[in-house]
Amino acid sequence: MIDHITLIVSDYEKSKRFFLAALEPLGYRVVMELTRAQIPQLPVEATVGLGVGGKPDLWIRTGDGAIAPTHIAFAAESHTAVEAFHRAALAAGAKDNGPPGPRPHYHPGYYGAFVLDPDGYNIEAVCHREAE
Residues 106-128 as b/e (b if ≥16 CB within 10 A, e otherwise) read: eeeebbbbbbbbbbebebbbbbe
Confidence at residue 132, expressed as pLDDT on a 0 to 100 scale: 66
pLDDT at 64: 82
Residue-range domains of the chain with CATH? 5-127 (3.10.180.10)
Prediction pTM value: 0.92
Which residue, 38, 27, 55, is CA-closest to 19? Answer: 27
How many percent of the chain have pLDDT more than 70? Answer: 98
What is the C-alpha to C-alpha distance for residues 110 and 115, in angstroms, rounded to an integer?
17
